Amino acid sequence: MQEKRKKIKHKTTITFVGVFLLAGICYLCSRTGSAFFNTLMFCMNASLLLGLVIFWMHTVSGRLMKTRTRSYIYAAGFFIAVFLMMRVFKYRIVVNSAVPARYVTYLYFIPRIMIPTLFLITAVRLSGDRPFHRHLTRWILIAGCALMVLPVTNDLHGFVYRPKVVPALFDMTSSTYTWGPGFFLLYAWIIALLVTGLIVLFAIMRKRDKKLVTLLVFAILFWISAKLFTSLVIDRLNTARMYSGVDIDCFSMLLILECCIRSRLIPYNENYAGFFHSLSTPVLITGPGLDTVYASSSPVPASKENLASAEKEPVYLDEDTRLMCMKIRAGYTFWTEDESELHKEQRRLADANAVLSEENDLIALERQLKEQKAKLEAQELVYKKIGAAIAPKQKKICELLEATQPDAEDFAYALGKVCVYNAYSKRKTNLLLLSEESLLEKNRELFLALSESARFLNCCGIDAAAIGEEYSSLPLSDIHELYDTFETLIEAYIPVLSGMTVSIIPEGIRVAMEAPETIELPDAVLPVTCVESDGLLFFTIKRRAAGGGVR
Write the pLDDT tens digit of every residue in 34-80: 878 888 888 888 888 889 888 888 887 766 766 777 788 888 888 88
CA-nearest of 31, 37, 84 to 242 is: 31
pLDDT band at 510 (very low <50, low <70, confident <90, very high): very high
Looking from the CA of 120 toward its CB, the CA atoms found within 13 Å total: 23
Contact present, 462 and 417 (Cβ < 8 Å)? no
Q: Which pLDDT tens digit goes with each residue over 129-181?
A: 677 777 888 888 888 888 888 888 888 888 888 888 877 777 777 778 888 88
Does the structure show a pLDDT above 80 at 31?
no
Residues 264, 211 share a domain? yes
Regarding whether 19 and 77 lie in a shared domain, the answer is yes
Handedness of CA 432, 433, 436, 441 (dihedral sign): negative
CB 200 within 8 A of CB 123: yes
CA distances (Å), 13 to each of 46, 252, 257, 259, in order?
20, 15, 14, 12
Report whether 45 contacts 26 (CB < 8 A): yes
Helix (H) or strand (E) holding 340: helix 340-403
Q: In terms of domains, do 259 and 279 share one?
A: no
Q: List the CATH number of the domain containing 162.
A: 1.20.1070
508 domain-assigned: yes
Q: How far is CA 339 from the centre of its chain?
A: 26
Asked if residue 386 lies in contact with residue 432, where contact means CB atoms within 8 angstroms, the answer is yes
Mean pLDDT for the stretch of residues 5-24: 80
| pTM of full prediction above 0.85 | no
In a domain? residue 375: no
Regarding whether 540 and 499 lie in a shared domain, the answer is: yes
d(CA 103, CA 101): 6
Please report the pLDDT score of residue 509 as a whole number. 93
pLDDT confidence of residue 271: 57
State phi, psi for 30 to the nearest 5 degrees: -90, 15
**Mean pLDDT across the chain:** 82
- Whether 356 maps to a domain, the answer reads no
Q: What kind and span of H or E run contains 328?
A: strand 321-328
500 pLDDT tier (thresholds 50, 70, 90): very high
Do 124 and 233 share a domain, yes or no? yes
Is the model more confident about 307 or about 281? 307
Rounded Cα–Cα distance for residues 31 and 393 (Å): 145
Interval 329-380: pLDDT, tens = 668 888 888 888 888 888 899 888 888 888 888 898 888 888 888 888 777 7
Model confidence at 547: pLDDT above 60: no
**Pair (201, 289) in one structural domain:** no
3-state DSSP helix/strand/coil % of the chain, to nearest 5 = 65, 10, 25
End-to-end CA distance of the chain: 116
> Which of the listed residues 254, 270, 286 is the one where a domain comes to its end?
270
Compute the C-alpha angle 502/506/510, nearest 5°.
Answer: 25
Query: What's residue 1's pLDDT?
Result: 46
Question: Would the pLDDT of 266 be above 80?
Answer: no
Give the pLDDT of residue 549. 38
Question: Which pLDDT tens digit goes with each residue over 454-487?
Answer: 998 888 888 999 999 989 888 888 898 898 899 8
- d(C-alpha 142, C-alpha 149), whole Å: 11
> Amino acid identity of 341?
E
pLDDT in tens, 388-447: 778 887 887 787 778 777 777 777 778 888 888 888 888 888 888 887 778 888 888 889
Query: In this structure, are 326 and 245 located in the same domain?
Result: no
CA distance 171 to 165: 9
Q: How many CA atoms lie within 13 A of 545 on its CB side?
A: 12
Please, how many CA atoms are within 13 Å of residue 438, restricted to the half-sphere of its CB? 7
Domain boundary among 255, 270, 285: 270
Q: Tell me, what CATH number does 424's domain have?
A: 3.30.565
Average pLDDT over residues 301-330: 82
Q: What is the number of domains present in the chain?
A: 3
Q: What is the DSSP-derived secondary structure letter of residue 436?
A: T
Answer whether 337's CB lies under 8 Å from 322's CB: yes
Confidence of residue 8 (pLDDT cuts 50, 70, 90): low
- Phi and psi of 338, rounded to 5°? -85, 115
| pLDDT for res 539 | 92
Q: Among 273, 270, 317, which residue's Cα sits nearest to residue 295? A: 273
3-state secondary structure string across 372-431: HHHHHHHHHHHHHHHHHHHHHHHHHHHHHHHHCCCCCCCHHHHHHHHHHHHHHHHHHHHH
Looking at the fold, whether 457 and 331 belong to one and the same domain comes out as: no
Both 25 and 40 in one domain: the answer is yes
Cα separation, 53 vs 42, in Å, equals: 17
Task: For residues 95-116, give the mean pLDDT.
Answer: 81
User: Are residues 540 and 497 part of one domain?
Assistant: yes
Q: 324 and 183 in one domain?
A: no
pLDDT interval class at 512 (50, 70, 90):
very high
CB-based burial of residue 362 (10 Å sphere; 0-12 exposed, 13-18 middle, 19+ buried)?
exposed
Say if 480 falls within a structural domain: yes
Domain boundary among 321, 339, 357: 339
In a domain, 115, yes or no: yes
pLDDT for residue 511: 93
Residue 364 lies in a domain: no
Report the pLDDT value the prediction gives residue 272, as an integer from 0 to 100.
Answer: 59
pLDDT value, residue 499 = 92
pLDDT exceeds 50 at position 550: no
On whether residue 147 sits in a domain, the answer given is yes
pLDDT at 32 over 80: no
Are 315 and 265 in the same domain?
no
CA distances from 206 to 124, 222, 254 (A): 15, 20, 21
Classify residue 316: in a domain, yes or no. yes
Residue ranges making up the domain that contains 325: 273-339
The answer to whether 390 and 428 have CB atoms below 8 angstroms apart is: yes
Which residues have CB under 8 Å from 432's CB, separation 6+? 382, 385, 386, 389, 480
Parallel/antiparallel/unpaired status of strands 177-179 and 283-286: unpaired
Q: By percentage, how much of the chain surpasses pLDDT 90?
A: 5
Select the more confidently predicted residue: 449 or 39.
449
pLDDT digits (tens, 9 = 90+) for 204-256: 777 666 666 777 788 888 888 888 888 888 777 777 778 887 888 888 888 88
- Short-list 284, 282, 279, CA closest to 337: 282
- Residue of 517, 482, 483, 521 whose CA lies nearest to 497: 517
Q: Which one is predicted more confidently, 478 or 95?
A: 478
Residue 548's pLDDT is 43
